[in-house]
Amino acid sequence: MISDHAPVSDVHVCFIGDSFVAGIGDPEHLGWAGRLAARTHCDRVGGTPLSSYNLGVRRQTSAEVAARLVAECRPRLPQGCAAGVVISCGVNDTTAEGSQTRVPVGGSVAALSTALSSCATNGWKVLVVGPPPVDDAAHNARTALVDARFATVCADRGITYVPVLDVLRRDPLWMRQVAEDDGAHPQAEGYALMADLVAPAWDAWVGALRSQGR
């Protein structure tokens, strides 16, 4: 069947970040990123193709994510496509190592700023998803500081930021699955919860990407 819609360019999206982006702990190997991509593939309007790439790496900090962003995204976001990057990191930054964290709050903010500037330079639209909670109240309190600063950085640049920390740490299913697994990662149902939280912002963002390609 021939579509009545005018042809549009492909939409390419890179999800880049840490183990939560990779979906560690999910027996379905989708995580929240895979669920969002699947949702968009099934609901696409006018036959606009979506090519999604998961670039999540376990244990990586925001600084490590920012350092590899351009090299890994550029081959996957070719000229002529509607290109977007979804960034999510920060939990590993706030992991305690002795009396310090792996990355100080200022370093996390600088790393996100670098990542956002890199995307702007390359003409890639950005969506930022905040860090989720783990089974450690003190760790979550440290993450909350980074979460708030990330939100401010994105607001200053006019970039959509989706906080998930507070909602998920009040959710019994998320916290139970995290505790039952490795203390950090949920299972399929937990990732589905996170995907549902991000979905409204994702739908609007990817819809704008599609419009860009028309």
Any domain includes 2: no
Any domain includes 200: yes
pLDDT tens track for 49-104: 789 999 999 999 999 999 999 999 999 999 989 999 999 999 999 999 999 999 99
| Averaged pLDDT, 189-198 | 99
- β-bridge partners, 88: 17
Instruction: Give the whole-angstrom CA distance, residue 35 versus residue 61.
Output: 23
pLDDT above 90 for 176: yes
Question: Has this prediction a pTM greater than 0.85?
Answer: yes
Average per-residue pLDDT in the chain?
Answer: 93
- Which structural domain range is residue 60 located in? 11-212
DSSP state of 183: S
Q: Tokens at residue 188, please?
A: 């399929």
**C-alpha separations of 194 from 59, 79, 179 in Å:** 19, 31, 16
Number of domains in the chain: 1
CATH code for the domain in which residue 134 is found:
3.40.50.1110
Phi, psi at residue 10, to the nearest 5°?
-60, 150
pLDDT on residue 49 = 79
pLDDT on residue 6 = 33
